[in-house]
Structure 1
Amino acid sequence: MRIGILTGGGDVPGLNSCIKAVVNRAAASGHEVLGLRRGWAALVETNPDDSSTAAANTLPLSPGNVRTVDRTGGTFLHTSRTNPGRVMGSRVPAFLGRKDDPAATVDLTTHALRVLDHLGIDVLIPIGGDDTLSYGLRLHEEGVPVVAIPKTMDNDVHGTDYCIGFSTAVTRGIELIHNLRTSAGSHERIAVIELFGRYSGETSLITGYLAGVDRTVISEVPVDIERLAGLLKGDRAANPSRYAMVTISEGAILEGGEMHLSGDSDPYGHRKLGGVGATLGAELERLTGAGIILQVLAYLVRSGSPDSLDMMVAMNYATMATDLALEGAKGRMVALRGGTYTSVPISVTKEGVKRVDIEEFYDSEQYRPRVRHVGGKPMFFY
């Protein structure tokens, strides 16, 4: 059997550990693993009639060439946000024929299926978030055996309690927030810390909860700036060091406003989030009269090596996904549910994004986590 593996979307710590574990488990059973470079882009850029393109877009993997990859973060296979189901005409490879309208969206799935057949891939293991896995579902529906692995800093893939990358993002966020306290205190300012979280505020919520910040703004609840300003003004006055801290999800919405998007769409229709922290900071400065420190953590929590939890989950997800693939499973996604490793139909990913249960875990009036009565709850509260 030949297993294809790829990483799509944003990088997270733990991807290399995951890839290595798949390779070692497959090799131990006498099977091959072929790495697809730059995520789904490998299927777009490979020309079955030109062997040089396959060499540029794939990498045969063995225990020997993955021996040390888990010692660093990121993904040595590289990644992209390519989705072959919707490629802008300007990004269609020349060998497939450029489109008259460069802005038109083209579905290259027929080509992708031809490439998979050309590469001799029997089963595919995509590692990614909702967008990457949505195309994994598309291929499953086209008859390709797929066993998916969820990863995202936002921890928002539907159907699983945990995604690779989340623990490291929170751990690193806590450390950086505590480091920022010295400057916030020295200058007696309000620190605004913007974190990942397009539709789910879990990264902001859990990081803020564990770091003990004064207020936490999440994607699920539009924020009343005047009320938040009053709360932070009081927090700052009550602090002997005369500073306050607030975390905010990048996808948070100011009451009466809309999600902050920066720049034009990329060639695959994605627009970057950004700017809500700066807007919040400017309004807080106007309303409180205090100086503001704005810190967008962004790639600082995405980069570097994984923590022990992300390494463990990545390796266990990989082992489980490989076992499922070798058993002939199709259309599955490995998952953690209630603290137990399991698998779910990959179709659950189209049911939406997993979001914070605000009734259970968030005080929408005080903009604070509300964690209570944890007995009997799973480790990640989901």
Structure 2
Amino acid sequence: MRIGILTGGGDVPGLNPCIKAVTRRAAELGWEVVGFRRGWAGPLNVDPDDPESLEKWTLPLTPNAVRTIDRTGGTILHTSRTKPSKVKPADLPERLQGKLQPGKDGTVDCTAPILAALEKMKIDVLIPIGGDDTLSYGARLHQEGMKVMSIPKTMDNDVYGTDYCIGFSTAVSRSVEHIHALRTSTGSHERIAVIELFGRNSGETALIAGYLADVDRVLIAEEPFDVQHLSELAAKDRADNPANYSMVVVSEGAQMQGGEIMERGEADAYGHRKLGGIGQVLGEEIKQRTGINIISQSLGYMMRAGAPDALDVMVAKSYGTMAVQLIEEGKSGLMMALRDGNYTAMPGDICIKGERRVDVAAFYDKENYRPRITRVSGLPMFLY
């Protein structure tokens, strides 16, 4: 048995422990593991007949090679946002230049050469680790006949079909830590702090981080906000605080009522432009309306930097071990998942069957911009 593994999309803490778990369990069974570098760019660019290409785009994984990787964050395999079904002609590997015709949208579907490369490399099962974009292409490969076992990761925790994705707990922990740290400067200068967190379409990270850090107001991607009303609330929070400051957390995908999501730059292969800047703009709007000075801070990549916390190591190792266990049982086309507190496996294409978003009616006070956690019994550990 020869297993391929790759990590796609944004990095999160927990990827390396997952890679290690797959490698060690596979080795115990006498199987070989090959890592593809830079996400889906690895299978796209690798030339199985060229030793230099194999060295550039793959990495043999052995127990010794992964012995210490679980102690650090990120991914030793590196990552990218490559989408092999929509490749610009200029981005095609040299060996494919002029051999594939673009579709009506001007991009090239490279699925056929990827399947051929995987077959030539004798990859029996491929394990992609990623968010819904990465895993959606894994589902495509499975439909085309490749055996695939998917593992969900994203700090937004928004892959449909699972209650938990690798990286979420650490992102929340980092956010809470930095929010509390910012209280010292915010309180010292008697200001209003506006802290921007990652969260394109789902506000779960901001909502849970704000809930745990007990901030005054939280703005999520799912619910547009009235900037005047928010400014009045934040000013009142400051006045009511004996230390004379207040804290506002905002998802990067949040938007003002009547406004637009703040995006910039060219869209990536999955149609996503870079987000960010709502925190800075919001801070300026609050200052203009209240006359109160602002501390505006985007946590950005600090949320996903550094080693994973214990929960992300636990889930990452469990997902990796379970993937190999299911392969040993002869299964494929599945996505590792946590449902109602239990490890389970869902159909691999479930990630494209729906959307995972904050249940605003159940967990968010949209009039006062606050988490509303009034019922806990019977809910999963992270409430959603």
Under a length normalisation based on structure 1, what TM-score does the superposition of the two structures give? 0.97
Instruction: State how 1:220-369 maps to structure 2 within 5 Å.
Output: 220-266=222-268, 269-369=271-371
Kept in 2: contact 1:3–1:121 (CA 8 A): yes
CA distance in 1, matches of 2:66, 2:49: 29
Evaluate the alpha carbon distance shift between residue 268 and residue 162 of structure 1 in structure 2; reply closer, same or farther with a 3 A threshold. closer
CA distance in 2, matches of 1:363, 1:38: 41
Residue ranges of structure 1 left out of the alignment (5+ in a row): none
Indicate yes or no: 2:129 matched with 1:127: yes
In terms of mean alpha carbon deviation, does 120-129 or 41-50 score higher? 41-50
Residue 268 (structure 1) shift: 6.0
Residue 89 (structure 1) shift: 2.0
Correspondence for 1:108: 110
The letter of the residue matching 2:214 is G
Indicate yes or no: 2:145 matched with 1:143: yes
Kept in 1: contact 2:194–2:249 (CA 8 A): yes
Correspondence for 2:207: 205
Correspondence for 1:36: 36
The letter of the residue matching 1:370 is R
Kept in 2: contact 1:262–1:275 (CA 8 A): no
CA distance in 2, matches of 1:357, 1:177: 24
Q: Deviations over 1:136-164 (max 9, x none)?
A: 01101101111100000100000000000
Q: Deviations over 1:57-79 (max 9, x none)?
A: 11111111110111111000111
CA distance in 2, matches of 1:122, 1:79: 22
**Percent same amino acid at aligned positions?**
60
CA distance in 2, matches of 1:108, 1:74: 27
CA distance in 2, matches of 1:149, 1:14: 11
Question: Aligned match of 2:194 in 183, 192, 206?
Answer: 192
Correspondence for 1:57: 57
Residue 269 (structure 1) shift: 4.2
Correspondence for 2:120: 118
Instruction: State how 1:67-82 maps to structure 2 within 5 Å.
Output: 67-82=67-82
Kept in 2: contact 1:87–1:268 (CA 8 A): no
Correspondence for 2:175: 173
Kept in 2: contact 1:34–1:60 (CA 8 A): yes
Q: Deviations over 1:202-222 (max 9, x none)?
A: 000000000000000000000
In terms of mean alpha carbon deviation, does 260-269 or 274-283 score higher? 260-269
Residue 228 (structure 1) shift: 0.7
Residue 100 (structure 1) shift: 10
Residue 317 (structure 1) shift: 0.7
The letter of the residue matching 2:139 is L
Residue 192 (structure 1) shift: 0.6
Residue 104 (structure 1) shift: 2.9
Evaluate the alpha carbon distance shift between residue 19 and residue 190 of structure 1 in structure 2; reply closer, same or farther with a 3 A threshold. same
CA distance in 1, matches of 2:101, 2:186: 54
Kept in 1: contact 2:88–2:106 (CA 8 A): yes
CA RMSD of aligned residues (A): 1.6
Correspondence for 1:47: 47
